[in-house]
Chain A
Amino acid sequence: DAKTTQPPSMDCAEGRAANLPCNHSTISGNEYVYWYRQIHSQGPQYIIHGLKNNETNEMASLIITEDRKSSTLILPHATLRDTAVYYCIVRSGTYKYIFGTGTRLKVLA
């Protein structure tokens, strides 16, 4: 079973920040949190990952709570091209990903 819970859908106005939450209350101490997105009919695209500290790259920021039971992916200035399904994943086992249902983000013009 997936180890993460996400809201099924969200809307965001173009140009505004999109904040996508993820609950991973059963995460273990050495498990990373990974975020991907999938645009229709394509493979998932890696966005960012983190363990404890907040992370930022050219695509997004990842905020992980101190207890590590939840995290938030932030797209600082959403564009129409950010419309996609976003998956938060905590690795299950040594290498495997178990995908949950993800959040369908719609960026509105």
Chain B
Amino acid sequence: GAVVSQHPSWVICKSGTSVKIECRSLDFQATTMFWYRQFPKQSLMLMATSNEGSKATYEQGVEKDKFLINHASLTLSTLTVTSAHPEDSSFYICSATTGDVNQPQHFGDGTRLSIL
């Protein structure tokens, strides 16, 4: 149980394009989803918290206009990297939780984004 699917797993695109990453909870309803970013040999950095039906809460230093987050249903959140540039290349990971504050988050397998 508690499976989180992330798609695509790998994407390469040209500078200036926008890229959408999907995060789905397959067997549970996720009232809260999280988006993280990870650079090589570094730890995960929380970008934003996404609650179903409301605006995402971004961490300090994360540009909300650059990283658009939508959590339209209890099983789907999307992250759109707008006008992507090479410095946006990274490993993006989502996680989801049922809303029980003491239950663990469950993570997707990540999306490796490369901007040329």
Which residues of A pack against B, CB within 8 Å?
A: 32, 34, 36, 41-46, 49, 51, 87, 91, 94-102
- With a CB–CB cut-off of 8 A, which chain A residues contact B45? 99
- Which among B34, B49, B102, B108 has the greatest number of chain A C-beta atoms within 10 A? B102
Which residues of B pack against A, CB within 8 Å?
A: 2, 4, 6, 32, 34, 36, 43-46, 49, 91, 93, 95, 97, 101-102, 104-110, 112
Contact among B46, B101, B104 with A46 in the assembled complex (CB-CB below 8 Å): B104
Does A102 contact B110, Cβ atoms closer than 8 Å?
no
- With a CB–CB cut-off of 8 A, which chain A residues contact B93? 43-44
- With a CB–CB cut-off of 8 A, which chain B residues contact A51? 102
Given A44-B107, A95-B32, verify A100-B43 contact (CB < 8 Å).
yes
29 residue pairs from A and B, CB less than 8 Å apart: A32-B102, A34-B104, A36-B107, A41-B91, A42-B109, A42-B110, A43-B4, A43-B6, A43-B107, A44-B44, A44-B93, A44-B107, A45-B107, A46-B105, A51-B102, A91-B101, A95-B32, A95-B34, A95-B49, A95-B105, A96-B34, A97-B34, A97-B46, A99-B36, A99-B43, A99-B44, A99-B46, A101-B43, A102-B43
Interface contacts beyond A42-B109, A46-B106, A96-B46: sample of 4 additional A-B pairs, CB < 8 Å, sorted by A: A94-B101, A95-B49, A98-B46, A101-B43
- Please report the C-alpha to C-alpha distance between residue A59 and residue B33 in the assembled complex, in whole angstroms: 25
- With a CB–CB cut-off of 8 A, which chain B residues contact A101? 43
The DSSP consensus for interface residues of chain A is loop
The DSSP consensus for interface residues of chain B is strand
- Please report the C-alpha to C-alpha distance between residue A42 and residue B45 in the assembled complex, in whole angstroms: 15
Closest approach, in angstroms, between the C-beta of B96 and any C-beta of chain A? 11
